[in-house]
Amino acid sequence: MPKGYWVSVYPTIEDPERLDVYNELAGPAVAAAGGRVLASIGSRVDAHEAGIAERVVLIEFDSFEQAVAARASAAYLEALAELPDGFERDFRIIEGLD
pLDDT at 8 over 80: yes
Alpha carbons within 13 angstroms on the beta-carbon side of residue 33 total 29
Neighbours of 77 (CB within 10 A): 12
Domain ranges of the chain: 4-95
- pLDDT value of position 52: 76
Query: How does pLDDT run across 59-94, given as a tens digit for each residue?
Result: 999 999 999 999 999 999 999 999 887 778 899 999
- Computed over every residue of the chain, the mean pLDDT equals 91
pLDDT: which is higher, 24 or 19 = 24
Smallest CA-to-CA distance from 34 within 72, 58, 63 is with 63
Kindly tell me the sign of the dihedral angle through the C-alpha atoms of 87, 50, 57, 36.
positive
Single-letter amino acid code for the residue at 44: R
- pLDDT value of position 42: 78
Q: Mean pLDDT over residues 16-25, rounded?
A: 87
Query: How does pLDDT run across 43-61, given as a tens digit for each residue?
Result: 888 889 887 777 889 999 9
Smallest CA-to-CA distance from 87 within 5, 8, 6, 4 is with 8
C-beta of residue 54 within 8 angstroms of C-beta of residue 13: yes
pLDDT at 12 over 90: no
CATH number of 4-95: 3.30.70.100
pLDDT at 39 over 80: yes
